[in-house]
Amino acid sequence: MLRRLAIACLLLVSGTGSDGQEPSPASPGEAGPAPVFAATWAPDRSPVPYAEAVSVLFAAWEEDRGPIEPGPTGRVGLKVYTNSGNGLQTPRALVRAVADALVERGFRREDLFLTDLSAYRLRASGFLPPLSADGDRFAGMPVLPLEDPASQSPRWVYESPLPPDPLLNPEEVGAGEPQAEGEDRLSYLPLPLLFDLDFWINLPIAQAYPVLGINGATTNASLWAVSNQARFFSRPVGAASSAVEIAAIPEFRRTYLFTVLPLTRTQWIGGRRFDSLYVHREPKLLLSSDLLALDRYALDLINEERVAHGFAPVSPEPLLFRYGPTLDLGSPALPPARFRRFSLP
């Protein structure tokens, strides 16, 4: 049913940019900025139609870039975000919708897995059962905390000269256990997202964030996927450069497929933790392989809300947008022709 709905939406509106003109998309092998696919629906729809939106966006991706189908391993990782607490985590209904779309395409549910840094935060966000209950699965999928030693290897680390900041509270940025002597300048890379899988999908949220400016697609695919990341968060240059360098690691990019960014709960001010007073709800779901484009779109939305409520836009401009293009991470430029827009019936 959802596949038929997706095909119908594609026949109706595929290839129409926000200015109503017919864009000229690049073919899968052609150089050029990656398209941004956007699905919208009526604001009063309840519950949020994640399943319909994911079906339409996956079908649009496949029409433009090729089929999403099982490869040599059949395994797929879903990188969720849980660091800001329950209320601003990756929506659980969205995770279920993405998993269902993959199963519909021939993947086995038990070969899909969820992952994020902290078992504690995964549990607090509803992706792991309470400690009083046994189990390590969400909706039939294994959940792999990246802080687990089994998810790390001393052969796969990101090394930088930035030590931990003694004035920064590690709990505020979700740091894990204290680092052993000699490892305070190392961050373990996430083995589950590097090896023994066909690909992984990035499922972030969008949030105005201290030091970084924007916490979204790029950071969920980099800083929130490595250990010992607290050392980056007191220095804007260090945070931005480390985020883009980690996201650009060849082994990381080789397995990355795309990002699905919900705008259904975006926090435009209020710090690192969830604050319902500063949340904007936009009936829209975005999909793109371009991390910078999605973060640019989210930041523009955040700034609109800040100005509407009497606050200044995020300043200075996040350095992600300056550093990212130098490592071919994407392009934050958003001309109308980059968009493929779909309205759910």
Q: Are 85 and 124 in contact (CB under 8 A)?
A: yes
Per DSSP bridges, beta strands 137-138 and 141-145 are: antiparallel
**CA pair distance 122, 140, nearest whole angstrom:** 15
Sequential DSSP letters for 176-240: -SPPPTT-TTEEE--GGGTSSSSEEEEE---EEETTTEEESHHHHTTGGGSSSGGGGTT-HHHHH
Mean pLDDT for 262-280 is 92
pLDDT at position 6 is 46
Mean pLDDT for 143-150 is 95
pLDDT at position 27 is 34
Q: How confident is the model at residue 182 (pLDDT cuts 50, 70, 90)?
A: low
Q: How confident is the model at residue 144 (pLDDT cuts 50, 70, 90)?
A: very high
Q: Could you tell me the two tokens for 108?
A: 């086995």
pLDDT of residue 226 exceeding 70, the answer is yes
**CA pair distance 274, 207, nearest whole angstrom:** 9
pTM above 0.85, yes or no: yes
**CA pair distance 118, 116, nearest whole angstrom:** 6
pLDDT of residue 292 exceeding 70, the answer is yes
pLDDT at position 4 is 41
pLDDT at position 10 is 45
pLDDT at position 214 is 96
> Mean pLDDT for the chain?
87
Of the two residues 135 and 19, the one the predictor is more confident about is 135
- Cβ neighbours of residue 54 under 8 Å, at least 6 residues apart? 94, 97, 98, 100, 101, 260, 285
Phi-psi region of 335 (alpha: psi -120 to 50; beta: other; left: phi over 0): beta
pLDDT of residue 257 exceeding 80, the answer is yes
Domains of the chain and any CATH numbers: 42-343 (3.40.50)
Q: Could you tell me the two tokens for 270?
A: 């209020």
- Over residues 198-224, the pLDDT tens digits come to 999 999 999 999 999 999 999 999 999
Sequential DSSP letters for 2-50: HHHHHHHHHHHHTT--TTS----PPPTTS-SPPPEEEEE--TT-SS--H
- Over residues 296-320, the pLDDT tens digits come to 999 999 999 999 999 999 999 999 9
- Over residues 45-71, the pLDDT tens digits come to 999 999 999 999 999 999 999 999 999
- Cβ neighbours of residue 56 under 8 Å, at least 6 residues apart? 5, 6, 9, 10, 39, 342, 344
Instruction: Round to the nearest angstrom and report the end-to-end CA distance of the chain.
Output: 14
Mean pLDDT for 27-34 is 59
Dihedral sign for Cα atoms in the order 61, 91, 279, 273: negative
**CA pair distance 88, 82, nearest whole angstrom:** 7
- Cβ neighbours of residue 114 under 8 Å, at least 6 residues apart? 77, 78, 80, 95, 122, 127, 138, 141, 142, 143, 144
Amino acid at 330: G
pLDDT at position 183 is 60
pLDDT of residue 21 exceeding 80, the answer is no
Percentage of the chain lying above the pLDDT 70 cut: 84
Mean pLDDT for 126-151 is 93
Q: Give which of 93, 130, 135, 137 is closest to 112, Cα–Cα.
A: 137
* Residue matched to tokens 């961050």: 187
- Over residues 73-90, the pLDDT tens digits come to 999 999 999 999 889 999
Q: How confident is the model at residue 161 (pLDDT cuts 50, 70, 90)?
A: low
Q: Could you tell me the two tokens for 117?
A: 């840094």
